Amino acid sequence: MRLFGLIGHPVIHSFSKKIFDEKFESENITDCRYELFDLETVRDVAPLRANPELRGLNVTVPFKQSLIPYLDEVTEEAKIIGAVNCVKITDGKWIGHNTDIYGFEKSLTPLVNPANTKALILGSGGSSLAVQYVLNKLAIPFKVVSRKANPVFLKYFEISKSVMNVRHLIINTTPVGMFPNISELPAIPFHLLGPEHLVFDLIYNPDETLLLKNAAFIGCRIKNGLEMLQLQAEKSWEIWNE
């Protein structure tokens, strides 16, 4: 039996197991199973290395960056980004990949138009790094908003009218608003949003976060992260079976 799974903390919100369970059933794949591994710290990944059935892992917050030292190898793309969200395991060797890039680019590209040529990225973690990589690839200038101390980042209180007037693509890469904390939302000035804005929230549970609900009420175009997750799952399966 080949075992695959998701590591992170928490993972109760994840749809990954549902996606793969449905795939295995619909395609009559009987020699595979997918499990959720809720790890308190990244160090807790060590016992998984002793499981001979384990063939691949997806990685979610907060381990996309901190897992890298525990891997045997990292693809060049994931190395450039500094984050992994997929691990292929072959003969005990753990190789880190990043499928956030593929999922985000495929999900975003059909929505981009000349009005969305500058972006504001909320958050600076592992998902943000993949988003930054894709926006650079698509030649979309961006600013990162973060609570972390970094002279390059904007603080949330610095999101002014002049910023919002020219940055019409807003991408939330933080877990703020994710189940079960559905009453939370990023501290952005909603009164500065309008129909010219596209708000993309990488969260998919709930399917419409409070961020997206507020943005839709104002008249913004909105997009959640479910399609991105599904695309990532397809890419992970491809990597695991290469």
Catalytic machinery residues: 64
State mean pLDDT over 70-92: 96
Segments in 76-209 forming alpha helices (H): 76-81, 100-108, 126-137, 161-166
CB atoms within 10 A of CB 179: 15
Q: How confident is the model at residue 37 (pLDDT cuts 50, 70, 90)?
A: very high
CB atoms within 10 A of CB 106: 17
Q: What is the pLDDT of residue 105?
A: 97
Residue among 176, 36, 161, 168 nearest 112 (CA): 168
CA dist., res. 5 & res. 16, Å (int): 8
**What angle do the packed helices 100-108 and 226-240 form, to 10 degrees?**
140
Higher pLDDT, 151 or 100: 100
- Which domains does the chain carry? 2-98 (3.40.50.10860), 102-225 (3.40.50.720)
Query: 171-196 pLDDT, tens per residue?
Result: 999 999 999 999 999 999 999 999 99
Q: How confident is the model at residue 148 (pLDDT cuts 50, 70, 90)?
A: confident
Query: 89-134 pLDDT, tens per residue?
Result: 999 999 999 999 999 999 999 999 876 679 999 999 999 999 999 9
Q: What is the pLDDT of residue 150?
A: 84
CA dist., res. 94 & res. 115, Å (int): 42
- pTM given for the model: 0.93
Whether the per-residue pLDDT at 157 is higher than 80: the answer is yes
* Three-class SS state of 43: helix
% of residues, the chain, pLDDT over 70: 99
- Eight-class DSSP state of 187: -
State mean pLDDT over 223-241: 98
